[in-house]
Amino acid sequence: MRLAALVSVVLCIVALVLSFLCLFAGSSKGFMEDYAVVTLNTSRIGENVVNQVANDLCSHSHSRRDAFQPSKLEALPQPLALAARSAITPAPANPLAMQNLRRGIFSSVESEIHSKESEVHSKITSAASRVESAIASVESEAAHLCDEIVDDIGDKLEDVLQRIGLHDWYSAHVMDFCEGSYIPGPVPNATLKASRIHKNVTSCSNRTALYHFDPKATIAEQIRNATDGEIDLTNLHWPSDITRGLNALRDAQKAVFVLYCLAIAFIALALLLAVFAVFSTGRLTALLNVVVEGLAFLCSVLASAIVTVIAVKATNLINKYGKDVGVSANRGNKFLVLTWVATGLVFISQIYWIYEFFAGRGRRERAVRQAKQG
């Protein structure tokens, strides 16, 4: 009896369960929705339209405001320079009286000039302040009006998106896709933390073997059905690069399904052999386990590697070309952890049977030597 083989039995059971979960995650509404391969976020689609309108309106408002910006007040002209007293030739008669008269005239003229200068400066400053105040008021009103228009456009766009049947997110699984909304809202803000936002699953498609996730076809069909063909993806400026990139991954997505099915079959067979090996000590049993678990590991590691490439490339592709239309994607890290853990367990079990195969040979040789000596 080989009790150590129970370790392989446990490893195969866990790996088999995890592989089934990878294959059937998201296969029904609410079942392991967080374990999607890729999640497409369309909650902000069309935001580029709102931003463009906001930029156009506000920049136009600022340019008009700047055009009416008053020039800075230039320094007032210097008072007229009066001729130096020494330059005026006094009359020869009664010089002291003439000097006093001249001094009085100069003082009176200078005082009058300074008085007029202060009066003019005060009036100009007051007028400039009134103009600047009026412009500031117009500027504030224009900014408020711009915000109201942008908010109204955003609300109208959200109503349109709801009317045409777009959901906040679409998640791709191995055999289907699911769709739904973000609760209580799609975008975190000062009053809504990101940790409070969660997915609300609306529906999932039928399970399909060799399934290929095509968000363009899915979204286009929903828009067409909701609007009777009045609106299509061209109105939303859907990037064609996303479609071409995901189509290039079509064969890889189909291969993942086949490889998971093969991995599950080989792991199940390895489990049966491991149970049988508990009651058998022959090397042939160990060799069969090595071969079968080697095939299971090969299929599992290929499936995990391909699905990792799909998740990474699809996410990068959508984020690169979708940002201009408000579309983004998130890689399914939980799914990747699940599939690689299953692969790792199969590998550990195979290592155990490789050890058993060579250790069994040593035990047999020792038994033969002991028999000869006895």
- Residue 87 confidence class, pLDDT cut points 50, 70, 90: very low
How many other C-beta atoms lie within 10 A of the C-beta of residue 7? 13
Mean pLDDT of the chain: 78
Sheet arrangement for strand 169-172: 198-204, 177-183, 169-172, 38-41, 328-331
Do residue 293 and residue 196 come from a single domain?
Answer: yes
C-beta of residue 216 within 8 angstroms of C-beta of residue 238:
yes
What is the rounded CA–CA span in Å between residue 289 and residue 271? 9
Q: What is the pLDDT of residue 356?
A: 87
90 lies in some domain: no
Task: Look at residue 143 and tell me whether its pLDDT is greater than 80.
Answer: no
> How is residue 341 written in tokens?
């853990």
Average pLDDT over residues 150-178: 72
77 lies in some domain: no
* Boundary of a domain, candidates 122, 141, 163: 163
Query: Who has greater pLDDT, 226 or 86?
Result: 226
150 lies in some domain: yes
pLDDT tens track for 1-55: 677 789 999 999 999 999 999 999 998 888 999 999 999 988 877 665 555 555 6
Do residue 180 and residue 303 come from a single domain?
Answer: yes
85 lies in some domain: no
Average pLDDT over residues 150-166: 58
Do residue 266 and residue 314 come from a single domain?
Answer: yes
86 lies in some domain: no
Strands (E), the chain: 38-41, 169-172, 177-183, 198-204, 328-331
Do residue 241 and residue 347 come from a single domain?
Answer: yes
Do residue 137 and residue 177 come from a single domain?
Answer: no
> What are the DSSP calls for 44-75, one per residue?
TTTHHHHHHHHHHHHHHHHHHHHHTPPPPPPP
CATH code: domain of residue 331: 1.20.140.150
Total domains in the chain come to: 2
Do residue 317 and residue 330 come from a single domain?
Answer: yes
Strands (E), 148-231: 169-172, 177-183, 198-204
Q: What is the pLDDT of residue 236?
A: 67
366 lies in some domain: yes
Do residue 103 and residue 183 come from a single domain?
Answer: no
Find out whether the peptide bond into 90 is cis, omega within 30 degrees of 0. Answer: no
Do residue 112 and residue 13 come from a single domain?
Answer: no
pLDDT tens track for 174-229: 999 999 988 887 677 777 777 778 888 988 988 888 888 888 888 888 777 776 66
* Boundary of a domain, candidates 146, 163, 180: 163
Do residue 156 and residue 226 come from a single domain?
Answer: no
List the single range of 125-139, 179-193, 325-339 with lowest mean pLDDT.
125-139
What is the rounded CA–CA span in Å between residue 14 and residue 27? 20
Do residue 204 and residue 235 come from a single domain?
Answer: yes
Do residue 346 and residue 208 come from a single domain?
Answer: yes
78 lies in some domain: no
Q: How far is CA 60 from CA 46, 48, 52, 283, 353, in A?
A: 22, 18, 12, 83, 75
* Boundary of a domain, candidates 163, 183, 213: 163
Q: Which domain does 121 fall in, by range?
A: 54-71+95-163
65 lies in some domain: yes
Task: Look at residue 85 and tell me whether its pLDDT is greater than 50.
Answer: no
Do residue 337 and residue 221 come from a single domain?
Answer: yes
